[in-house]
Structure 1
């Protein structure tokens, strides 16, 4: 599969946005996709783009944090004619390349001053046939507007114009919610890629000595360089190497060199920065995106001076996260001095070197994989699915007076995660109840608070540890007939106790055996252990499997487990639903048992997500909603339910 990819970026201050976009372009080109990178900022030196094409628009830049005043290369304000030239070249590039994937860097979460340009690009792209996938590419931390209407505007643009948001970060370090008010409308769009490392080669190893200073590519780091020179005079016992970005003028650069002590080398930024950093005892820098990726890769002690002019909060938040991990000292920009820097350096050197956490840093490759999966899911998304057999089955049930109900179970939940967010957002969007079969032995503390405000989502007990105890060459089972009953009873008891301790009122005492297999010998014990429900995968018998135990099973699974492990063909899923309906109409199955839809959010690819949503949307359009699991199992809390009749 060869795709055409267009990435549009305009960096206005430093070059971090361009560097990250260039890394994405290289990654797409490395997979032999025809990639074009359009840059609208000041031309910058870029590493080899690996076959990607670079298109330079008439450049724009800003001075300091005044992002409203757009300047040309000569620092002169631009007029409408200049902006029109940019737009014309941008749209010409779009129509020449006719991309399958369009990626806008930062917009619509930022670059509002260029909204007309970006919106013209997006609307022109959406008019192409076939329409390209439209993605937004953002760093781990954003700066949210102070005005609520601007946040609302960004969300509306995402909802109506974008297919997904590529968040180039790791939620275990900084979730997007830490800097931006994510709501349920945009949450399903979010795809975490991990951090994008522009230099994916191995980190050199060597003896650590000396102090390395870096300040990014813009002149905004001049105050840092000046304070660093003061600190260098106070810490003469170690060699210093001070790397100055190209955004600093030659005059200022020469002044820095003139003021440097003999043990400090002041030079322009070098392509071997990663090597220098890996051999340093300590690093002094701001807390920009690319710098922090470098620090995480090299595992070097650091002193961070986050850029905070103009009420910027991005670098401060990132610096605080690293400090919390024991990886950095912080010196506030408004208190910056050589004396404080020297003190922070000595504190950092006196502390034990911490091991960086296992943060995902192959964000460029992951971005490509996510985009490819989104493309692969589009045939299921846009091609016509033949719903006629299901339409006919529903009408037949209605004509026969067979009132159908549906419910939704998702297996293997253990913690809050982007995939769980997406699952719960999907359920919320379609007013669907959902039962999460949780694995008690693996439960993490993040799950309970995530479920707390989800009034239609409840947890069920998914065995104990989801371990297979079946003999070789037999079907997998944790609670199969091959284990002693007393052992399984003890594990089931423990499972309910642990799950209840974690989840409280959000847990329903419903037992869901892993792989949907359970020994008949165990079932009679479940009620006395405290279970009131049981769920497997097949039509239940009309008779209850045990006194005081209500069985409600699942019947349709969108995953091709024995083949591709992606989605089954839509017609196969529809045939399963039709068969379940017809068995109830014919009296071959218990009409009172809701038809169960079974998913596994932790293993979904884009094709599975898309097919699942299409089914849920199809049913919701016909006023058929998935029951809340507490209502299914007779434990309803009294909250209002929509009608689930046909």
Structure 2
């Protein structure tokens, strides 16, 4: 893809830092990326791997976001603002982007609305039209005027394809700071926090206090609280030299300095951090696991940092000292109190936001390309599918559709792409996870996913079939009591490791093979359903089987002949329209051809009125996880003995 990201930072450099990290992630993934920056150049922000287009810079004085100043400190005039808008449009013309991302707008930067709207308008006028996406941090500052919130919602509804929220809803959902309406909430996609730094080496010994106050002058109130206790104090490059000299009076050499590239490593070796609670500061603390005293910036009625700091404190990750209560004495007390506590434990907050942003945009782009490819049907195979669906519709019938994906173990870019594609089309996913292989990143990713339900994919996905026979983990090659014990263990482990509410007690045997005797025993183990390939029904167990697997497993391991796939699908629809159409994918092994086919197929199917997307929870009998095993231990043994 070609990706254009537009950002203007006015106070500190946090917005630019986050936008640049996302731009570098796009570039690292092979996408041509241009970052259009409208704020004052920030020397600490990395630009490797991307193209930077610098607009005539703007800034503000204090916290007056309504008065824009030129580089000389004068109010920005019409000529300067018009030149910026023209440069925005020129960037779209030069790059011909597939995706345009506006940082903070339309939820903020109202004073810059003309240039952002010019950028979005130029993008939407192109054919094919690129994606238009909003990029916002975890916390927004909502206007006290309802009409301004309504204006932002109207712009999202009319102009934007999605809102990328760079946060973790388990920590702070967006509606904790912004009153979302239903239409805007439907376009929200959480990416996790964007960590722009490198992973620090573990420190053998932590010592000392590091005091840092962001990149701009907003942290001066914190920097001036400086008892000479051997602390290391770092000021941002946006702090005027005169103010820095004043703060340094009486301090020993080496105590006070500017922000530095190795700040993350310095923080990792500190016993405690004192800082405000901007976005990037919070991510630094989460990445290093450093004890923290947070003094959130609250001047001018700002609420963003206070909310973030309180949410981190509620998880035992920091202590909050309100700015209004800040004195040298209260600061020393807060430091001593925090140092007396144990170090923060594992927080499980998602910090993989840059890679996930790329994966989500890739999925949205795939979906858009699929929609464009859907009309007219691009090949005779799709013509056959549409004729079969037309015939079904003429009889007043509908074909149920569901989507199952196998072999999930971790939250990674491939899973992000899968979930993003499913969310884009509004199709629920039945994600078959291997219980013994579930990584901690999978439940974290599922907490931020909508419409994803997890099934139990055997136990460990090990082949127990003898040589020469088809692979199976739960085939009739092992004693029934062993099969029963492994199936019970799979459900138990899945319950322990996956978020409450995401798991459906549905058994998905690896390689779609299951011994009939085990299938008959599944309901007594607490399972409600079975999903394999079409087979005989089982009393008290609901089946939902895969019917279309696009991968050529015995040959190229890429896409099977798409024409043959589609003609086979048309025949299945015509022969058994009442049987659910089960799309089976394997996100961990897809190549570009498989992704393209799946995106185009789903888009085509959903366009036809004869397709009805199945409600997975309803099909398997919600509520799901109130099902404890109905068989006692002795009963399970009896099942194993008698079948």
Structure 1 length normalisation: TM-score? 0.77
Q: Once the two structures are superposed, what CA deviation does each residue of 1:568-614 show, in whole Å capped at 9, x if it has no partner?
A: 77655533421212333xxxxxx653443445789889974994586
Q: Once the two structures are superposed, what CA deviation does each residue of 1:622-643 show, in whole Å capped at 9, x if it has no partner?
A: 253134457767x699xxxxxx
Is 1:246–2:237 an aligned residue pair? yes
Q: Once the two structures are superposed, what CA deviation does each residue of 1:524-552 show, in whole Å capped at 9, x if it has no partner?
A: 445666777644213x4xxx545566655
Q: Is the 8 A contact 1:458 1:630 kept in 2?
A: no
Shift of 1:296: 3.2
In 1: Cα distance, 2:400 partner to 2:409 partner: 26
Is 1:353–2:339 an aligned residue pair? no
1:390 aligns to what?
385
Q: Is the 8 A contact 2:16 2:45 kept in 1?
A: no
CA RMSD in angstroms comes to 4.7
2:514 aligns to what?
518
Shift of 1:422: 8.8
Question: Are residues 507 and 298 of structure 1, via their aligned partners in 2, closer, same or farther at CA, if it must alter by over 3 Å?
Answer: closer
Q: Is the 8 A contact 1:559 1:608 kept in 2?
A: no
Q: Secondary structure at the match of 1:316?
A: helix
Is 1:90–2:88 an aligned residue pair? yes
Mapping of residues 534-549 of structure 1, within 5 Å: 534-538=530-534, 540=535, 545-546=537-538
1:643 aligns to what?
none
Is 1:300–2:290 an aligned residue pair? yes
Shift of 1:482: 1.2
Mapping of residues 118-517 of structure 1, within 5 Å: 118-146=116-144, 150-151=148-149, 153-170=151-168, 174=172, 176=174, 178-180=176-178, 183=182, 186-187=185-186, 190=189, 192=191, 194-197=193-196, 199-200=197-198, 202-203=200-201, 205=203, 208-226=206-224, 228-229=225-226, 232-233=227-228, 236=229, 239-258=230-249, 260-262=250-252, 265-355=255-345, 357=347, 361=351, 363-364=353-354, 367-368=357-358, 371=361, 375=365, 379-384=369-374, 385-386=377-378, 387-397=382-392, 403=397, 405-408=399-402, 410=404, 462=456, 465=459, 467-471=461-465, 474-489=469-484, 512-517=508-513
2:641 aligns to what?
none
Q: Is the 8 A contact 2:370 2:596 kept in 1?
A: no
Q: Is the 8 A contact 2:402 2:580 kept in 1?
A: no
1:49 aligns to what?
47
Q: Is the 8 A contact 1:407 1:433 kept in 2?
A: no
Task: Report the more deviating stretch, 490-499 or 101-110.
Answer: 490-499
1:10 aligns to what?
8
1:626 aligns to what?
613
Q: Is the 8 A contact 2:132 2:160 kept in 1?
A: yes
Shift of 1:380: 3.3
Shift of 1:93: 2.9
In 1: Cα distance, 2:403 partner to 2:22 partner: 37
In 2: Cα distance, 1:201 partner to 1:528 partner: 47
Is 1:65–2:51 an aligned residue pair? no
Q: Once the two structures are superposed, what CA deviation does each residue of 1:145-201 show, in whole Å capped at 9, x if it has no partner?
A: 45555455445544553444444445565554554456575556525154231x437
Q: Is the 8 A contact 2:272 2:339 kept in 1?
A: yes
Q: Is the 8 A contact 1:171 1:192 kept in 2?
A: no
Question: Are residues 149 and 270 of structure 1, via their aligned partners in 2, closer, same or farther at CA, if it must alter by over 3 Å?
Answer: same
Q: Is the 8 A contact 2:208 2:270 kept in 1?
A: yes
Give the length in aligned residue pairs.
607
Shift of 1:118: 0.7
Q: Secondary structure at the match of 2:81?
A: helix
Q: Secondary structure at the match of 1:518?
A: coil
Q: Secondary structure at the match of 1:90?
A: helix
Shift of 1:319: 2.1
Q: Is the 8 A contact 1:245 1:268 kept in 2?
A: yes
Q: Secondary structure at the match of 1:134?
A: strand
Q: Once the two structures are superposed, what CA deviation does each residue of 1:206-238 show, in whole Å capped at 9, x if it has no partner?
A: 754432221122222121122x22xx15xx3xx
Structure 1 alignment gaps of length 5 or more: 585-590, 638-646
Shift of 1:10: 0.5
Is 1:39–2:29 an aligned residue pair? no
Question: Are residues 45 and 496 of structure 1, via their aligned partners in 2, closer, same or farther at CA, if it must alter by over 3 Å?
Answer: closer
Shift of 1:481: 0.9
Question: Are residues 147 and 566 of structure 1, via their aligned partners in 2, closer, same or farther at CA, if it must alter by over 3 Å?
Answer: farther
Structure 2 alignment gaps of length 5 or more: 624-643
Q: Is the 8 A contact 1:188 1:422 kept in 2?
A: no
Q: Once the two structures are superposed, what CA deviation does each residue of 1:24-73 show, in whole Å capped at 9, x if it has no partner?
A: 44445556655433221123324552364433322222233332222223
In 2: Cα distance, 1:133 partner to 1:535 partner: 36
Question: Are residues 309 and 518 of structure 1, via their aligned partners in 2, closer, same or farther at CA, if it must alter by over 3 Å?
Answer: same
Q: Is the 8 A contact 2:209 2:271 kept in 1?
A: yes
Question: Are residues 560 and 223 of structure 1, via their aligned partners in 2, closer, same or farther at CA, if it must alter by over 3 Å?
Answer: farther
Q: Once the two structures are superposed, what CA deviation does each residue of 1:279-336 show, in whole Å capped at 9, x if it has no partner?
A: 4332211111222233334433222111123333322233234334444222111211
Q: Secondary structure at the match of 1:83?
A: helix
In 2: Cα distance, 1:506 partner to 1:268 partner: 47
